[in-house]
Amino acid sequence: MTNASTSTAKAPRKARGEYAKSRERRKAILDAALEVFAEGGYRSGSLREVAQRVGISEAGLLHHFPNKVALLEAVLERRDDRSFEMVPLDSDDPHAVLRGVVALAAHNATVPGVVELYCTLSAEATAPDHPAHAYFARRYDTTRTSFVRLFTDLATQGVLRPGVEPQQAAIALIALWDGLQVQWLLNRGIVDIAASLRRFIDALADVEWEEPADAAGPAEEGEG
């Protein structure tokens, strides 16, 4: 009975360990794939090269992602997860969202390969048969809806400029961001994406760019 109980107790720990190991391996594959696709493009980047960077076989990679299209979709979703950490689109504070937009634009300037991958894929994906077509169509719908909501919230607060219509403002902000990224890739010396976005947003609304002091949490003991 003692041996049986010990064996039964150890099984869940082993399962949890295997799950955690698989989850970490999946993350490593996605990070490597993002690097490979960012460096050489989606079409040129191979599953073999991704697998080599992780230190596994191509068959091992296919255990996690059945094909290259599935890997691409997962890579794009992982990139979005990272972006959403900086841009809280589900926040009730439109000012926080816009602060996040500018912060993300500044961060993206440190990863030009990722920006180039996004710009190239979004252009290629306008073709209905492209593997990322559905992803980008869905992404633009989601982002546009979120931005319309935040501009509507700004209007409700009375800080949206006269004559600014939320949906058109959302469309224009997305278009400007995408266009600035292309110009930046061509000539990084004259384009500051974050600064340009902030100036444009300032023309649309009176935004609180400084995070409220109480948003950072309670003051440390001794502060005052």
Task: Give the tens place of pLDDT for each residue, 70-128.
Answer: 888 888 888 888 888 899 888 999 999 999 999 999 999 988 888 888 898 899 899 99
Q: Are residues 161 and 192 in the same domain?
A: yes
User: Residue 130 is part of a domain; what is its CATH number?
Assistant: 1.10.357.10
> Domain range holding 24?
12-68
Bigger pLDDT: 76 vs 146: 146
Is residue 184 within 8 Å of 219, Cβ to Cβ? no
At residue 214, the pLDDT reads 65
Q: Which of 201, 195, 200 is nearest to 109 (CA)?
A: 195
Quick check: is 119 in a domain? yes
- Kindly indicate the confidence band of residue 212, based on its pLDDT and cuts at 50, 70 and 90: confident
Domain check: are 103 and 180 in the same one?
yes
CA 80/CA 72 separation, integer angstroms:
12
Query: How would you class 6 by CB atoms within 10 Å of its CB: exposed for 0-12, middle for 13-18, buried for 19 or more?
Result: exposed
Instruction: Specify whether 184 is located in the same domain as 93.
Output: yes
CA 65, 69, 73, 76 dihedral sign is positive
Same structural domain, 61 and 152: no
Model confidence at 36: pLDDT above 60? yes
CB 104 within 8 A of CB 86: yes
Predicted confidence (pLDDT) at residue 51 exceeds the cutoff of 90: yes
Say yes or no: 63 and 24 in one domain: yes
What rounded mean pLDDT belongs to the chain? 86
pLDDT at 217: 52
Question: Domain check: are 36 and 104 in the same one?
Answer: no
Counted domains in the chain: 2
Residues 98 and 194 both lie in one domain: yes
193 with 110, same domain? yes
Q: Where are the alpha helices (DSSP H) in 109-132?
A: 112-124
| Cα–Cα distance, 179 to 148 (Å, whole number) | 19
Angstrom distance (rounded) from CA 4 to CA 68:
44
Q: In this structure, are residues 169 and 151 in contact, taking their beta carbons and an 8 Å threshold?
A: yes
Are 108 and 142 found together in one domain? yes
3-state secondary structure of 205: strand
Domain of 44, CATH number, reads 1.10.10.60
Q: Which residues pair with 160 in a beta bridge?
A: 205
